[in-house]
Amino acid sequence: MKVKNNEDKATIGIIGGTGSDLELNDVEEIKVYTPYGHPSDAIKLGNFKGKRIAFLPRHGTGHIIPPHNLNYRANIWALSELGVKYIISPSAVGSLKKEHDKGKFILVDQYIDRTKKRLDTFYEGGQVCHISQADPYCSYLNDLFYSSGKDLDLNIENRGTYVCIEGPRFSSRAESIVFRQWCGDIIGMTTYPEVVLAAEKQICYCCIATVTDLDVWAGECPNCGIVEYIDSCKGCGGSINKLTVDIQEILETMAKNSENLKKLLELTLPKIDVERDCNCHHSLEGAIL
């Protein structure tokens, strides 16, 4: 559909899955047709505590689209067409640091792009756009969610670097260790190119990363606990058991995280000042030749 009136518009968009599918009032499902093909699914429009929300299941109903096949441009274009100026993007991630344990929330402020095949711009000719990504994520949204997280007594951190890989495979142990050496905090498969496409549409973008596993850099020493996997523990010289990542572990942790994520969204969404003039809404200034 082509958006024609305010009833078909929303100011806040949520791209996510488990835990982020809030109970909206007066819900309608709409299909938005884009120049880039179909978004992941129909978009649910509804009201939540005085805010008009557009919810898009990132991987489609039933989680059927893998991250490397997502139509990121169609997803962001569709939300922009609906009038969205703030995107909240919960994302399940692995941890690259011992201190980021399972269940922790990290409000991402930087990314390292390790994807390979994704279309990551709306500007393919006619106009040239060099969008700034020095500070890719909206500090206003991050601060709001961090404040709410502390009020809820959650394990939450207001900064972190997200290493985004192509997927759908997980990393090798060598890759995981290299990403740690690059000062990555977490690893996942979805924040890029969502974040840069949102910038090209002058939309505030916030990634709420929820840690589900320790990735494969980690091992467990019977005496010293979680350590980087090597042949023997640097602390005690004992043997280290390899840790691996499996889907069952991720799903179990996501289920535990989902209630806290829902509480975080429910507390924060009403606080968003949708009339606020954010720097994110001027990201194209000086970017187009």
To the query of whether residue 277 is one of the catalytic residues in this protein, the response is no
Say which residues have a Cβ less than 8 Å from residue 68's Cβ, sequence separation at least 6.
115, 117, 118, 166, 167, 168, 189
Residue 66 contacts by C-beta under 8 Å, 6 or more apart in sequence? 59, 167, 168
Backbone angles phi, psi at 92, to 5 degrees: -75, 130
Residue 151 falls in the annotated catalytic set:
no
How many other CB atoms are there within 10 angstroms of residue 51's CB atom?
17
Q: How far is CA 164 from CA 6, 64, 110, 125, 233, in A?
A: 35, 20, 11, 26, 29
Of 113, 135, 213, 246, catalytic = 213
The residue type found at 148 is: S
Maximum Cα interatomic distance, the chain, rounded to a whole number of Å: 68
Tokens of 284: 């194209």
The token pair that represents 8 in the structure block: 């078909």
Among the options 8, 113, 185, 215, which is catalytic?
215
Q: Would you please indicate which residues are annotated as catalytic (active-site) residues?
A: 213, 215
